[in-house]
């Protein structure tokens, strides 16, 4: 068999989905077969991902690889086309990795296990599809498709306010995705050729006003997902109600879809508009960092606290995207992967803690460290990773964003100084909320009420294994970032070259000139069309 | 000789391996690992022993004049940005390696005795080894980013070790405070590094300094910005070396077990700030304003620490303020341009302060037999006359006290005198502060020695005990470890041996840096300058030395009359100047000030933002656009259990749209 010709990506996407369809007919006692089945499917798919990329993917190539394209609805020009580049590939691996671990994390689920694992496997394929498809309309379908399992997972297995949270989640994200649809259609029908192919869409030249509108539409849709303040309020609710495995997926992968799509569409397809929106992204990023860190500090509910910390960390992605430098963009991608791992581990630990204490209110805990030594150790390690301790991936990502932004040629020095200063305040705020969280959970005397009513057993090997798996790449990348950055370096360089070219076409103009050297609207309109 | 340089990376890696092996054992097989107890300790100590031997070999080679050696590795790349990591061995690094490994090794041996009864014995060794590894990595760092990496890692180890007894609320708060205050310093350091990279395009110590000076000279960069960057970088050392205004974490850090107070919070980590200033010396020395700031920060901290140390009753807190004060001396020396004097004091102080802390640990260990395992065992009011029970500890402690006070020919005299001499050349006012502080130092150190080791033993005075317990909030008849009402006893040999070994450098080390034969400065001299062996004049030396010994003797006399012969009543003096007494006792009210300024306000701000988020932002966004209708009226409908239905509608609409488009 010719391995190079094998449709790897299609297989990787469809295998878990088709496998999930078999779940209803599996012979099963008490849901124990189903979870093994799901785990094996997850592992096989992950192995396929790793194998395919290991043998077929060339890291020096910045273009699309493992490309497949089949006509789907020819009358519409709709194609099933998939491919990965340096941007998508790490995220596909992350998805396979985190989803497989989430299946393992879902081991104790006993309520409707068939439906649960069915949805998990459907999610598996759907998530990868979002990162791999190269057709705008199929992208939109995959984006919507992956909402439904999440919605059901929230609404059926969630906490007390699960219906409110699930509804809010679906309304926000579905509402946001309407903008994707409208913008995608507008782009597809613009010009003389109707196409949904992303590369062809990127090659079209749009007038600047059109670009700005489309950009804003995408920004709202992806801003809900990432999330960007003030579109974030669904997240604490959804995260506050989700169970640990769903949580891991939400924080580990779904948030990254927002960041991925921002690069794929806003930066790559609309570089001229990005010149105007770049500083806005940066400012929003700073707001994310500080605002969410403060809310996290004040939050008394453990899940919501960690949920806000996710929002805060996504701020660095935004600053990196707005930096117009290799280093900043590279840092943004690294931050996505890194937070995918760290966020997943923290949320898993939140779930593990809740399984024992049956409360999420910090005041009702305390002194847990005396009975749950391993969980204490894992919490400490993951919290340190989250507060960007050197030696772990979060630090490298933040450092790259900082250095990238500070050396950005596009912005004025004053703007850079203010942004770096404010973003660095996050460096102080993050340990405040994470360490005070640790203190309230584990330090001090035991909470007698809790000790008498709950059985506080220490971590079982399965839990240690999951955290260990997540820590290996976190520490590996932290110790030697080139492991990961070289995978996508060619890609980020290509995107940055594109962006810097669009910045260079203009001359300083008021009032944006105060912030940086952006072209005036009229000038950009003529220049936006490549010669 | 090349071979040992190629394997220099083993120095930090070996302790890391030890920590990893023991740490993995603790997580995977906690019972078995804890049962092996001393085997773990032996493993970790022997690995560090190899590092120590390597360090000595490197120092010997550097003393013989081997050129600095550097090995680099491409660490992170993005486009044309390349960041390298690696290690560099030069005289300063080799010297620091020896200081860190020797103190760490002795502290580890000591730990076996001190932590013998503690259930966290093995975990403590793992942390100690992890710390040693990070600290050694810091010392070998060739550029600013790597320094920052290890800078944070030693901070993390400090956090873990301060919070070692995590069931104690005081330890829990202290470790968090230490980390957050240090992060404030790191915030400055990070901004400084970024700013320097922005302006000079380099993370190298010497390049940034030289290029920044060129930029300012050529007028491309305002001198004020350059000074601002230098001060931002200096914020890192301010926090790490417990300088005013970020000194507040160090005294609280004494909640950790005593061996780490000796290793981390006296000898090595806190000195990292001074080390960093030394590494960045080319940068600082080209900016007079920054040097001024550094010098006066150090001088003020030296004075502040000394004045607070006078009234402390907790033996470890007293030593902590003394550490802060001594670090102030080093920073002041750096600011005054006395590069090698500052580093010389760093080295001598590392040995005698480690010895003093370990001595205080032996005292606490002995006192626990009397008052139980609680903070009262650190209270000097309950001590006294301990020399009879623990002669070895008392002897070494006295050597430490003499050394820190600056009595010739002990180590502290030479280094402190060199600093005072150099600052006099820079600014007589600085010298005056340092000189006065020397007197206060002698006073409080002898007060500490007399109340602990001389006079009558007060630990069996039940009335006094009750008073102290009440003050410290200890329930004396609770189910704590109980009062054994035994006698204080001398520590086991694993604890006294390190004390005796440390007494040797505390006594003799000063002789390598005497003004008439300064071998130290030949090895460690200002970067860029050849050893500037200043003309040595007996008359000048005798005036300087005479004046500082004079004020030291004055301090000692005062301490003798107040705490040994009791001719002066300390309480009466305190009553005469109640304001000054309370100012010192309450640590100049810094904790209260910061609490009301920063802690409360940040909490309030956070609560307000959360309220804003829950009430305004959430509400506004919910109310906007189409979503309003669906949440407002739709929720009732949706919560009837038909929510899934909606999801299907969305999906159906999308599918329908595609099909529709396909047909037309």
Q: Are A315 and A426 in contact (CB under 8 A)?
A: yes
Alpha carbon distance, N-terminus to C-terminus of chain B: 82
Which helix (DSSP H) or strand (DSSP E) does residue A82 occupy? Answer: strand A78-84
Q: How far is B77 from chain A (nearest CA, A)?
A: 7
Q: Cβ–Cβ of A380/B179 closer than 8 Å? A: no
DSSP string, B394-445: HHHHHHHHHHHHT-TTSHHHHHHHHHHHHHHHH-HHHHHHHHHHHHHHHHHH
Give the Cβ contact number of residue A410 at 10 Å. Answer: 22
Q: How far is B255 from chain A (nearest CA, A)?
A: 13
Q: Which residue of A has its CA nearest to B151?
A: A390
Q: Cβ–Cβ of B621/A421 closer than 8 Å? A: no
Q: Are A15 and A48 in contact (CB under 8 A)?
A: yes
Q: Which residue of B has its CA nearest to A329?
A: B78
Q: Which residue of B has its CA nearest to A488?
A: B78
Q: Are B89 and B142 in contact (CB under 8 A)?
A: no
Residue-number span of the structural domain to which A255 is assigned? 3-528
Structure tokens at A336: 């996505």
Residue in A144, A329, A428 closest to B654 by CB: A144
Over the stretch B267-294, which tens digit does the pLDDT of each residue have? 888 889 999 999 999 888 888 899 999 9
Question: Is the minimum CB–CB distance between B20 and chain A shorter than 8 Å?
Answer: no
Over the stretch A180-238, which tens digit does the pLDDT of each residue have? 888 888 888 887 777 888 888 888 888 888 888 889 999 999 999 888 888 888 888 88
Beta bridge partners of A82: A68, A133
- Strand B513-514 versus strand B81-89 pairing type: unpaired
Token pair 């806000």 is found at A308
CA distance B41 to A504: 61
Residue A13 CB partners (closer than 8 Å, separation 6+) = A82, A125, A128, A129, A132
Over the stretch B593-603, which tens digit does the pLDDT of each residue have? 888 888 888 88
The residue that leads in pLDDT, A73 or B434, is B434
Q: Cβ–Cβ of A486/B77 closer than 8 Å? A: yes
Token pair 């003499």 is found at B402
Question: Is the minimum CB–CB distance between B521 and chain A shorter than 8 Å?
Answer: no
Q: How far is B651 from chain A (nearest CA, A)?
A: 7
Q: Cβ–Cβ of A295/B606 closer than 8 Å? A: yes
Q: Are B647 and A147 in contact (CB under 8 A)?
A: yes
Is A523's pLDDT higher than 70? no
Is B535's pLDDT higher than 90? no
Residue in B76, B617, B626 closest to A233 by CB: B617
Residue B574 CB partners (closer than 8 Å, separation 6+) = B311, B581
Provide the 3-class DSSP secondary structure of residue B517: strand
Spatial CA neighbour of B109 closest among B390, B315, B354, B400: B354
Q: What is the pLDDT of residue A342?
A: 94
Q: Cβ–Cβ of A435/B179 closer than 8 Å? A: yes
Q: Cβ–Cβ of A374/B27 closer than 8 Å? A: yes
The residue that leads in pLDDT, A518 or A361, is A361
Q: Cβ–Cβ of B79/A443 closer than 8 Å? A: no
Contact list, A148 vs chain B (CB under 8 Å): 647-648, 651
Structure tokens at A426: 């996050």
Lowest mean pLDDT among A24-33, A257-266, B189-198: A24-33
Over the stretch B131-175, which tens digit does the pLDDT of each residue have? 999 999 999 999 999 999 999 999 999 999 998 988 888 888 899
CA distance B338 to B518: 14
Over the stretch B106-116, which tens digit does the pLDDT of each residue have? 999 999 888 88
Region A334-352: mean pLDDT is: 92
Q: Are A275 and A212 in contact (CB under 8 A)?
A: no
Q: Counting one residue from A and one from B, how many pairs have CB atoms under 8 Å apart?
A: 209
Question: Is the minimum CB–CB distance between B440 and chain A shorter than 8 Å?
Answer: no
Q: Cβ–Cβ of A489/B77 closer than 8 Å? A: yes
Contact list, A151 vs chain B (CB under 8 Å): 643-644, 647
Q: Cβ–Cβ of A443/B651 closer than 8 Å? A: no
Is B583's pLDDT higher than 90? no
Question: Is the minimum CB–CB distance between B169 and chain A shorter than 8 Å?
Answer: yes
Q: Are B19 and B44 in contact (CB under 8 A)?
A: yes
Phi, psi of B386 (to 5 degrees): -70, -15
Structure tokens at A18: 């088709």
Over the stretch B486-530, which tens digit does the pLDDT of each residue have? 778 888 888 889 999 998 988 888 888 877 777 888 787 777 665
Over the stretch A495-511, which tens digit does the pLDDT of each residue have? 888 888 877 775 444 34
CA distance A519 to A508: 6
Question: Is the minimum CB–CB distance between B75 and chain A shorter than 8 Å?
Answer: yes
Contact list, A294 vs chain B (CB under 8 Å): 605-606, 609-610
- Enter the pTM of the model: 0.89
Question: Is the minimum CB–CB distance between B493 and chain A shorter than 8 Å?
Answer: no
Q: Cβ–Cβ of A407/B661 closer than 8 Å? A: no
ipTM score assigned to the predicted complex: 0.89
Alpha carbon distance, N-terminus to C-terminus of chain A: 45
Structure tokens at A90: 């790490």
Provide the 3-class DSSP secondary structure of residue A209: helix
Q: What is the pLDDT of residue A4?
A: 67
Over the stretch A443-473, which tens digit does the pLDDT of each residue have? 888 888 887 877 888 888 889 999 999 999 9
Q: What is the pLDDT of residue B432?
A: 92
Is B450's pLDDT higher than 50? yes
Token pair 């290509």 is found at A494
Is B377's pLDDT higher than 90? no
Contact list, A112 vs chain B (CB under 8 Å): none
Q: What is the pLDDT of residue B303?
A: 93
- % of chain B exceeding 70 in pLDDT: 90
Q: What is the pLDDT of residue B651?
A: 59
Spatial CA neighbour of A336 closest among A512, A90, A164, A140: A90
Q: What is the pLDDT of residue B68?
A: 86
Contact list, B643 vs chain A (CB under 8 Å): 151, 155, 163, 166-167, 170
Q: Which residue of B has its CA nearest to A406?
A: B198
Is A431's pLDDT higher than 70? yes
Q: What is the pLDDT of residue A519?
A: 41
Contact list, A394 vs chain B (CB under 8 Å): none
Over the stretch A237-272, which tens digit does the pLDDT of each residue have? 888 888 888 989 988 898 899 999 999 988 888 888
Q: What is the pLDDT of residue A516?
A: 52
CA distance A407 to A401: 10
Lowest mean pLDDT among A18-22, A257-261, A384-388: A18-22
- Strand B517-518 versus strand B69-78 pairing type: unpaired
- Position A530 confidence tier, pLDDT thresholds 50, 70, 90: very low
Q: Cβ–Cβ of B159/A435 closer than 8 Å? A: yes
Report how far apart, in Å, the C-alpha atoms of B582 and of each of B254, B301, B376 are: 21, 19, 21
Q: Cβ–Cβ of A486/B163 closer than 8 Å? A: no
Residue in B171, B198, B630 closest to A407 by CB: B198
Report how far apart, in Å, the C-alpha atoms of B250 and of each of A217, B270, B317, B333 are: 52, 9, 9, 21
Region A116-145: mean pLDDT is: 89
Ramachandran category for residue A31: left, alpha or beta (phi over 0 → left; psi -120 to 50 → alpha): left
Q: Cβ–Cβ of A144/B621 closer than 8 Å? A: no
Question: How many Å separate Cα B572 from the centre of its chain?
Answer: 35
Q: How far is A459 from chain B (nearest CA, A)?
A: 10
Q: Which residue of A has its CA nearest to B626?
A: A175
Ramachandran category for residue B364: left, alpha or beta (phi over 0 → left; psi -120 to 50 → alpha): alpha
Q: Which of A79, A435, A438, A478 has the most B C-beta neighbours within 10 Å, making it the best mutation to test the interface with B?
A: A435
Any idea how long chain A is? Answer: 531
DSSP string, B244-304: TTS-THHHHGGGS-HHHHHIIIIISGGGHHHHHHHHTHHHHHT-HHHHHHHHHHHHHHHHH
CA distance A240 to A255: 15
CA distance B479 to B431: 53
Contact list, B184 vs chain A (CB under 8 Å): 428
Structure tokens at B603: 């909490």
Region A483-506: mean pLDDT is: 82
Region A136-150: mean pLDDT is: 86
Residue A303 CB partners (closer than 8 Å, separation 6+) = A239, A240, A242, A247, A347, A350, A354, A360
Count of domains forming chain A: 1
* Helix ranges (DSSP H) in B454-490: 462-472
Lowest mean pLDDT among A23-27, A150-154, B88-92, B99-103: A23-27
Token pair 């124990």 is found at A32
Spatial CA neighbour of B634 closest among A174, A233, A304: A174
Q: Cβ–Cβ of B635/A297 closer than 8 Å? A: no
For B331, counting Cβ atoms within 10 Å of its Cβ (0-12 exposed, 13-18 middle, 19+ buried), the class is buried
Residue in A291, A431, A480 closest to B609 by CB: A291
CA distance B163 to A442: 11
Is B567's pLDDT higher than 60? yes
Q: Cβ–Cβ of B661/A175 closer than 8 Å? A: no
Contact list, B653 vs chain A (CB under 8 Å): none
Q: How far is B253 from chain A (nearest CA, A)?
A: 15
CA distance B57 to B52: 9
Q: How far is A323 from chain B (nearest CA, A)?
A: 13
Is B82's pLDDT higher than 90? no
Q: What is the pLDDT of residue A520?
A: 39
Report how far apart, in Å, the C-alpha atoms of A247 and of each of A103, A220, A222, A235, A470 are: 12, 23, 19, 11, 15
CA distance A404 to A397: 10
Residue in B175, B610, B647 closest to A151 by CB: B647
CA distance B144 to B186: 12
Mean pLDDT of chain B: 84
Q: Are B253 and B178 in contact (CB under 8 A)?
A: yes
Q: What is the pLDDT of residue B478?
A: 44
CA distance A311 to A259: 12
Spatial CA neighbour of A126 closest among A110, A111, A105, A140: A140
Q: How far is A3 from chain B (nearest CA, A)?
A: 32
The residue that leads in pLDDT, B540 or A117, is A117
Q: Cβ–Cβ of B186/A171 closer than 8 Å? A: no
Residue in B76, B148, B651 closest to A144 by CB: B651
The residue that leads in pLDDT, A6 or B657, is A6
Mean pLDDT of chain A: 85
Q: Are A370 and A525 in contact (CB under 8 A)?
A: no
Q: Cβ–Cβ of B166/A369 closer than 8 Å? A: yes
Q: Cβ–Cβ of B621/A370 closer than 8 Å? A: no
- Strand B517-518 versus strand B81-89 pairing type: unpaired
**Residues B174-177: contacts with CB under 8 Å, at least 24 apart:** B174/B249, B174/B252, B174/B253, B174/B254, B174/B255, B174/B256, B175/A435, B175/B253, B175/B255, B175/B256, B176/A435, B176/A436, B176/A438, B176/A439, B177/B248, B177/B249, B177/B252
- Which B positions 132-151 lie with beta carbon below 8 A of chain A? 145, 148-150
Token pair 């997240």 is found at A235
Q: How far is B658 from chain A (nearest CA, A)?
A: 9
Q: What is the pLDDT of residue B442?
A: 92
Lowest mean pLDDT among A321-325, A521-525, B332-336: A521-525
Region A303-327: mean pLDDT is: 91
Beta bridge partners of B81: B78
Contact list, A145 vs chain B (CB under 8 Å): 651
Question: Is the minimum CB–CB distance between B638 and chain A shorter than 8 Å?
Answer: yes
């Amino acid at each position: 068999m010719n391995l190079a010709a094998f449709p790897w990506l299609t297989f990787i996407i469809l295998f878990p989905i088709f496998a999930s369809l078999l779940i209803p007919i599996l012979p099963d006692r008490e849901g124990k077969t189903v979870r093994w089945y799901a785990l094996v499917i997850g592992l096989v798919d992950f192995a396929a991902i790793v194998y395919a990329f290991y043998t077929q993917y060339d890291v020096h190539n910045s273009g699309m690889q493992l490309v497949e394209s089949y006509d789907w609805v020819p009358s519409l020009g709709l194609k099933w086309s998939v491919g990965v580049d340096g941007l998508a590939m790490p995220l596909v691996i992350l998805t396979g990795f985190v989803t497989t671990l989430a299946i393992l994390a879902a081991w104790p689920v006993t309520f409707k296990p068939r439906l649960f694992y069915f949805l998990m496997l459907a999610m598996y394929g759907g998530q990868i599809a979002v990162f791999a498809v190269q057709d705008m309309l199929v992208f939109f379908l995959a984006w919507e498709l992956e909402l439904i399992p999440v919605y059901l997972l929230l609404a059926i297995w969630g906490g007390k306010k699960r219906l409110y949270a699930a509804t809010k989640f679906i309304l926000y994200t579905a509402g946001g995705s309407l903008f994707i649809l409208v913008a995608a259609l507008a782009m597809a029908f613009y010009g003389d050729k109707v196409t949904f192919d992303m590369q062809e869409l990127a090659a079209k030249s749009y007038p600047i006003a059109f670009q700005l509108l489309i950009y804003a539409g995408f920004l709202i849709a992806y801003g809900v997902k990432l999330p960007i303040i003030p579109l974030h309020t669904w997240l604490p609710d959804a995260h506050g109600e989700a169970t640990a495995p769903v949580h891991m997926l939400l924080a580990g992968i779904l948030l990254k879809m927002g960041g991925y799509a921002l690069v794929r569409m806003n930066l790559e397809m609309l570089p001229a508009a990005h010149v105007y929106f770049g500083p806005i992204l940066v400012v929003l990023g700073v707001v994310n960092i500080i605002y969410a860190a403060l809310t996290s500090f004040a939050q008394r509910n453990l899940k919501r606290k960690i949920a806000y910390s996710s929002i805060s960390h996504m701020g660095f992605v935004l600053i990196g995207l707005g930096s117009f430098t290799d280093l900043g963009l590279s840092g943004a991608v690294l931050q996505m992967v890194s937070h995918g791992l760290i966020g997943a581990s923290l949320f898993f630990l939140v779930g593990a803690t809740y399984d024992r204490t049956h409360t999420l209110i910090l005041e009702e805990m305390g002194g847990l460290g005396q009975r749950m030594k391993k969980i204490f150790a894992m919490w400490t390690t993951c919290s340190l990773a989250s507060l960007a301790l050197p030696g772990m991936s979060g630090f490298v990502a933040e450092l790259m964003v900082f250095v990238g932004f500070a050396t950005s040629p596009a912005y004025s020095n004053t703007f850079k100084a203010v942004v770096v200063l404010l973003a660095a305040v996050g460096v102080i705020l993050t340990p405040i909320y994470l360490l005070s969280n640790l203190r309230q959970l584990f330090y001090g005397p035991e909470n007698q009420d809790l000790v008498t009513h709950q059985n506080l057993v220490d971590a079982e090997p399965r839990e240690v294994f999951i955290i260990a798996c997540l820590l290996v790449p976190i520490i590996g990348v932290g110790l030697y970032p080139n492991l990961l950055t070289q995978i996508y370096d060619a890609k980020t360089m290509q995107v940055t070259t594109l962006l810097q070219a669009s910045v260079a076409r203009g001359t300083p103009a008021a009032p944006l000139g105060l912030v940086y050297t952006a072209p005036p609207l009229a000038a950009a309109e003529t220049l936006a069309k490549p010669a | 000789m090349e071979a040992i340089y190629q394997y220099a990376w083993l120095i930090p890696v070996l302790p890391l391996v030890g920590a990893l092996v023991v740490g993995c054992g603790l997580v995977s097989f906690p019972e078995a690992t804890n049962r092996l107890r001393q085997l773990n300790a032996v493993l970790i100590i022997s690995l560090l022993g190899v590092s120590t031997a390597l360090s000595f070999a490197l120092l010997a080679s550097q003393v013989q004049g081997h050129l600095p050696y550097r090995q680099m590795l491409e660490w992170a790349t993005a486009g044309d940005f390349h960041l390298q990591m690696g290690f560099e061995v030069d005289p300063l690094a080799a010297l620091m390696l020896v200081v860190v490994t020797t103190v760490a090794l002795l502290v580890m041996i000591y730990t076996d005795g001190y932590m013998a009864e503690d259930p966290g014995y093995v975990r403590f060794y793992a942390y100690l080894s992890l710390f040693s590894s990070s600290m050694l990595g810091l010392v070998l760092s060739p550029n600013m980013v790597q320094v920052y990496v290890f800078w944070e890692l030693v901070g993390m180890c400090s956090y873990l070790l301060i919070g070692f007894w995590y069931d104690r609320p005081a330890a829990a708060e202290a470790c968090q405070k230490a980390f957050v205050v240090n992060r404030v310093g790191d915030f400055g350091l990070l901004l400084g590094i970024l700013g320097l990279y922005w302006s000079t395009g380099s993370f190298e110590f010497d390049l940034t300094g030289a290029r920044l000076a060129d930029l300012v000279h050529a007028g491309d960069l305002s001198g004020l910005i350059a000074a601002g960057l230098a001060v931002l970088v200096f914020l890192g050392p301010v926090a790490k070396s417990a300088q005013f205004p970020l000194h507040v974490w160090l005294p609280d850090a004494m909640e950790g077990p005593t061996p780490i107070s000796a290793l981390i919070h006296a000898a090595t980590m806190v000195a990292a700030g001074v080390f960093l200033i030394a590494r960045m010396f080319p940068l600082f020395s080209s900016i007079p304003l920054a040097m001024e700031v550094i010098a006066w920060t150090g001088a003020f901290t030296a004075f502040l620490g000394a004045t607070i140390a006078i009234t402390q009753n907790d033996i470890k807190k007293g030593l902590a303020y003394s550490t802060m004060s001594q670090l102030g001396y080093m920073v002041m020396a750096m600011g005054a341009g006395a590069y090698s004097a500052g580093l010389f004091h760093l080295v001598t102080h590392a040995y005698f302060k480690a010895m003093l802390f370990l001595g205080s640990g032996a005292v606490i260990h002995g006192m626990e037999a009397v008052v139980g395992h609680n903070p009262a065992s650190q209270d000097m009011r309950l001590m006294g006359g301990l020399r009879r029970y623990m002669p070895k500890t008392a002897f070494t402690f006295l050597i430490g006290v003499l050394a820190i006070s600056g009595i010739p020919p002990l180590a502290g005299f030479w280094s402190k005198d060199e600093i005072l001499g150099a600052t006099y050349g820079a600014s007589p006012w600085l010298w005056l502060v340092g000189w006065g502080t020397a007197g206060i130092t002698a006073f409080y150190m002898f007060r500490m020695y007399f109340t602990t080791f001389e006079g009558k033993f007060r630990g069996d005075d039940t009335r006094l005990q009750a008073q102290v317990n009440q003050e410290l909030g200890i329930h004396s008849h609770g189910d704590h470890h109980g009062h054994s009402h035994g006698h204080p006893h001398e520590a086991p040999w694993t604890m006294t041996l390190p004390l005796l070994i440390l007494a040797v450098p505390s006594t003799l080390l000063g002789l390598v840096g005497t003004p008439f034969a300064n071998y130290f400065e030949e090895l460690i001299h200002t970067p860029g300058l050849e050893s500037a062996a200043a003309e040595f004049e007996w008359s000048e030396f005798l005036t300087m030395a005479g004046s500082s010994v004079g004020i030291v003797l004055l301090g000692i006399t005062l301490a003798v009359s107040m705490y040994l012969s009791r001719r002066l009543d300390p309480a009466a003096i305190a009553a005469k100047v109640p304001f000054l007494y309370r100012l010192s006792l309450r640590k100049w009210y810094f904790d209260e000030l910061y609490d009301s300024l920063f802690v409360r306000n940040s909490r309030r701000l956070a609560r307000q933002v959360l309220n804003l988020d829950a009430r305004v932002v959430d509400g506004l966004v919910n109310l906007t656009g189409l979503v309003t209708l669906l949440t407002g009226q739709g929720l009732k409908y949706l919560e009837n259990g038909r929510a899934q239905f909606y999801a299907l509608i969305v999906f159906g609409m999308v599918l329908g749209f595609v099909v529709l488009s396909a047909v037309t």
